[in-house]
Amino acid sequence: MLTRSQINHIKQLSDKKYRDEVGEFVIEGEKLVREALLSRFNVKQILVHEHSKLELDSLDSSKIHFLKQSELNSISNWQTPQPIMAVLEKNTSTVPEPNGFHFVLDKIQDPGNVGTIIRIADWFGIESMYCSPDTADVFNSKVIQASMGSIFRVQCIVTDVLSLLSQYPTIPKYAAVLHGISLAQVNPSSKGFLLLGNESKGLRDELIELADHRITIPAKGKAESLNVAVATGIICYHLLS
Amino acid sequence: MLTRSQINHIKQLSDKKYRDEVGEFVIEGEKLVREALLSRFNVKQILVHEHSKLELDSLDSSKIHFLKQSELNSISNWQTPQPIMAVLEKNTSTVPEPNGFHFVLDKIQDPGNVGTIIRIADWFGIESMYCSPDTADVFNSKVIQASMGSIFRVQCIVTDVLSLLSQYPTIPKYAAVLHGISLAQVNPSSKGFLLLGNESKGLRDELIELADHRITIPAKGKAESLNVAVATGIICYHLLS
């Protein structure tokens, strides 16, 4: 059982400001909870429907709390709440040194896009990515859902990306732009930063200026642009294969 | 002015069954409405906020109807309704002969994925795609939104995709699967069908059996799969570039 104030605390975790303040976030669904338990994140509480038939033997019973349907409904960000959720502690680590290939997200606002990009990073073995503070929060429930568990394996660091990039003048920087050189002309590289910009405005000029390679996926049809996550996947396939 | 029953009719267009019955659908926002007017679709009505400051001179005034905010709110599928919407007639054409490269969507259920795939088709110059009847309806407002106007340029045909493919034994068929040969081993082709399956279950066995090439994007990390639209983009880049 959780007290009303504990439940209220968890409810408030749907708000980014509150998440930042207390350093916790919520995940929903059995698959994610099981992946979280194997991850580098500390699982603080496991919330289970009081009549759930889930197999709970393998879970740490001291962390399990049984909730009524109405309580789960009030916490959930989903239309159909799952019978299991968990409260996790965010990892507060210092900004790690870049050591391979990394994404740099500049004001990507759609949570589905950010989650899908985290999943792409995980697919291509990218261990960490950097996000500008105005990018959708990676602990937003829609980002977590779209990442399909990859959020537990890809470290996402919120930082001033312009000053970060300025610190590494020798690491190659690739900017995804609409009118650059063809991706096919760029050599694969296992080291670098891939700079990805806002869905409608693209990358900030200052970031484009820092880039060594301004790259474009050649178009044959009439669409004005590709979805940013789709472009990310194509560029990774070309540069990292 | 529209009558209450006309407004009620438009409201009901958010329901797929009703759209199928009457052969109409709704689009929202100035950019889409202007693109629709240049497309092969017949624009039946243009709905404009009564106090809108939009430039309407270039629009056919006989089609314009001014609506109150409350009326636009009741019709809109968006959280923040736009000051302009339109009602369009669906094109009811026969199933065209395949004549290049085409997507075949098998039970892709997320409207955002379907819209993003339509946008990819438009980017790579693919003129038509085939959807199984259990794929998300392309006239769903979320599909239209995610397609970013590409819905007006890419013909989407709902049909029994299994029987369609059986009719063209000589056209190469590429199935996107999780454990196939590496995409890098497949030769580019400007003619063919790319078979794309359900987000969680993948392609039906019958469709996989029909395929000449079962292809996989090589993974280097730990994600179980890629988002279907991202995979579509990568495969198009490889096969069509």
Are A194 and A132 in a shared domain? yes
pLDDT of residue B57: 85
Q: Find the residue in B nearest to A145 (Cα).
A: B227
Question: Which has the higher per-residue pLDDT, A94 or A107?
Answer: A107
B229 interfaces chain A, CB cutoff of 8 Å: yes
Indicate the SS3 state at residue B174.
strand
End residue of a domain, out of A49, A69, A89: A89
CB contact under 8 Å between B233 and A238, yes or no, is no
- Residues of the domain holding B71: 4-89
pLDDT of residue B186: 97
- The CA distance from B114 to the nearest CA of chain A, in Å, is 12
CB contact under 8 Å between B122 and A223, yes or no, is yes
- At which residue do the structure tokens 């930042």 appear? A20
- The CA distance from B221 to the nearest CA of chain A, in Å, is 4
Express as a percent the part of chain B with pLDDT over 90.
91
pLDDT category, A110, cuts 50, 70, 90?
very high
Are B136 and B76 in a shared domain? no
CB contact under 8 Å between B237 and A238, yes or no, is yes
pLDDT of residue B97: 87
pLDDT of residue A144: 97
Q: What is the CATH number of the domain that holds A39?
A: 3.30.1330.30
A34 interfaces chain B, CB cutoff of 8 Å: no
- ipTM of this complex: 0.95
A119 interfaces chain B, CB cutoff of 8 Å: yes
In this predicted structure, the answer to whether residue A92 has a pLDDT above a threshold of 80 is no
Reported as a single tens digit per residue, the pLDDT across B22-68 is 999 999 999 999 999 999 999 999 999 999 988 888 888 899 999 99
DSSP 8-state symbol, A217:
P
Residue B12 class from Cβ within 10 Å (0-12 exposed, 13-18 middle, 19+ buried)?
Answer: middle
CB contact under 8 Å between A230 and B120, yes or no, is yes
Q: Is residue B96 part of a domain?
A: no
Mutation pick from B114, B150, B196, B230 vs chain A, by most beta carbons of A within 10 Å, is: B230
Are A65 and A111 in a shared domain? no
Phi first, then psi: what are they for B189, rounded to 5°? -155, 135
Instruction: Compare CB distances from B119 to A119, A226, A237 and report the shortest one's residue.
Output: A226
pLDDT of residue B195: 98
Checking DSSP bridges between strand A101-105 and strand A128-131, what pairing results, if any?
Answer: parallel
In chain A, count H helices and then E strands: 9, 10
Q: Count contacts between A and B (CB, < 8 Å).
A: 116
Instruction: Compare CB distances from A230 to B150, B224, B229 and report the shortest one's residue.
Output: B229
In this predicted structure, the answer to whether residue A13 has a pLDDT above a threshold of 90 is yes
Instruction: Compare CB distances from B112 to A112, A221, A224 and report the shortest one's residue.
Output: A112
Are B116 and B73 in a shared domain? no
Instruction: Compare CB distances from A226 to B225, B233, B241 and report the shortest one's residue.
Output: B233
pLDDT of residue A16: 97
Amino acid letter, B105: L
**For the residues of A148-211, what is the DSSP string, one character each?**
TTGGGTSEEEE--HHHHHHT-TTS-EEEEEEEEEEGGGSPP-SSEEEEE-BTTTBS-HHHHHH-
CB contact under 8 Å between A226 and B121, yes or no, is no
B170 interfaces chain A, CB cutoff of 8 Å: no
Amino acid letter, B208: I
End residue of a domain, out of A89, A118, A141: A89
Amino acid letter, A77: N
CB contact under 8 Å between B153 and A221, yes or no, is yes
Instruction: Compare CB distances from B123 to A219, A237, A240 and report the shortest one's residue.
Output: A219
Q: Is residue A50 part of a domain?
A: yes
B231 interfaces chain A, CB cutoff of 8 Å: yes
In this predicted structure, the answer to whether residue A94 has a pLDDT above a threshold of 90 is no
Checking DSSP bridges between strand B173-182 and strand B192-196, what pairing results, if any?
Answer: parallel
Q: Is the pTM of this model over 0.90?
A: yes
A230 interfaces chain B, CB cutoff of 8 Å: yes
Are A62 and A113 in a shared domain? no
Q: Is residue A151 part of a domain?
A: yes
Alpha-carbon span B57 to B59, nearest angstrom: 6
pLDDT of residue A62: 92
Are A14 and A110 in a shared domain? no
B178 interfaces chain A, CB cutoff of 8 Å: no
Helix, strand, coil percentages, rounded to 5, for chain A:
35, 25, 40
Are B131 and B228 in a shared domain? yes
End residue of a domain, out of A89, A120, A153: A89
Q: What is the CATH number of the domain that holds A191?
A: 3.40.1280.10
* Residue B109 CA: distances (Å) to CA of A227, B87, B145, B201, B228: 18, 24, 15, 11, 11
Q: Is residue B201 part of a domain?
A: yes
Are A8 and A47 in a shared domain? yes
B237 interfaces chain A, CB cutoff of 8 Å: yes
Contacts of A226 in chain B (CB under 8 A): 119-120, 123, 233
Phi first, then psi: what are they for A50, rounded to 5°? -60, -30
- State the total domains in chain B: 2
Q: Is residue B36 part of a domain?
A: yes
Contacts of B112 in chain A (CB under 8 A): 112
Q: Is residue A202 part of a domain?
A: yes
Q: Is residue A31 part of a domain?
A: yes
Reported as a single tens digit per residue, the pLDDT across A155-206 is 999 999 999 999 999 999 999 999 999 999 999 999 999 999 999 999 999 9
Are B47 and B113 in a shared domain? no
Are A51 and A123 in a shared domain? no
Are A142 and A113 in a shared domain? yes
Are B134 and B82 in a shared domain? no
Q: Is residue A143 part of a domain?
A: yes
B116 interfaces chain A, CB cutoff of 8 Å: yes
Q: Could you tell me which of B179, B191, B174 has the C-alpha nearest to residue B234?
A: B174
